[in-house]
Amino acid sequence: MNDDAQSPVFRPARGLAHCVIGTLALAGAAWAARGVWQVRLAVTGEPLSGPPDQGDGNHRPLTSLEDAYHLVSTVGDIATVLCAVTFLLWLSQVRDNARALSGQRLRYAGPWVYLGWIVPIANLWVPRGIVAEVYRAGRPDARLPWTVNVWWGLWLVGALSGAGLMYADSKDDVIARAYGDVTPLLVADTAVVGAAVACALVVRAVTDAQDSRGDAGARPATP
């Protein structure tokens, strides 16, 4: 659909923002727990029987600690997916609100709200650009909050560090890495938790900016 085919209606996003902040808190707690379990694995040390994945498709029975890590990691994965869905819903709504408030065509078309996270190279800056543009539509004369850059920097570390959000290895491989060198895993975990906290502040700042401009008398667009 052409972005200019219709004028969006301004819809306060505070309720959805609260949902996003709640899922961010859940995801951050889950990733913090994941880090705690990785430390426990490193301190306990690898069993004499070797890593869970023995090679050639052979897996030994998991220890109770390893089994618990599987559970904690799965909860973290579910929380991350839930957080991503609610965040994208919020981002789509506040982007529509930005068009309604500014009355102008935005730099990034609507599909980039979703494609910006998965298109290689573009995913290094497009999502941050969308958030920055949405914030400035609510407060044109204000400086971009420092939390936006902190959030995006931590997100890139956590997502692209080779041990975080986009790390493709199995849980058993991560367990083996925790036994060998847990530090890269903890760096990624810390970045993800920090990004969740910073993102919650960004969500609040963007939502407040839009609401304050609406309260000040910005004319909502009509369909």
User: Is residue 209 a contact partner of residue 131, using CB atoms and an 8 Å limit?
Assistant: no
Closest CA to 164 of 144, 190, 137: 190
Asked whether the predicted pLDDT for residue 221 surpasses 50, the reply is no
Residue 221 counted as domain residue: no
> φ and ψ at 161, to 5 degrees?
-75, -10
Which of 35-44, 92-101, 161-170 shows the lowest mean pLDDT across its residues? Answer: 161-170
**What tens digit of pLDDT does each residue of 8-53 get?**
778 888 999 999 999 999 999 999 999 999 999 999 999 998 888 8
Residue 223 counted as domain residue: no
* CA dist., res. 112 & res. 128, Å (int): 11
3-state SS class at 117: coil
Residue 222 counted as domain residue: no
In the prediction, which pLDDT does 223 show? 38
Q: What is the mean pLDDT of residues 175-192?
A: 92
Cβ burial of 100 (10 Å; 0-12, 13-18, 19+) is buried
> φ and ψ at 83, to 5 degrees?
-65, -45
Residue 1 counted as domain residue: no
Residue type, 96: D
Residue 4 counted as domain residue: no
> DSSP letters along 111-123, please?
THHHHTTTSTTGG
Tally the domains of the chain. Answer: 1
Closest CA to 6 of 79, 107, 105: 105
Residue 27 counted as domain residue: yes
Distances (CA, A) of 130 to 18, 27, 113, 115, 125: 20, 22, 7, 12, 9
Residue 93 counted as domain residue: yes
Reported as a pLDDT band with limits 50, 70 and 90, residue 3 is low
In the prediction, which pLDDT does 26 show? 97
Q: How many other C-beta atoms can be found within 10 angstroms of the C-beta atom of residue 145?
A: 20
Average pLDDT, the chain: 88
Residue 2 counted as domain residue: no
Which residue segment(s) compose the domain that 96 sits in?
Answer: 14-215
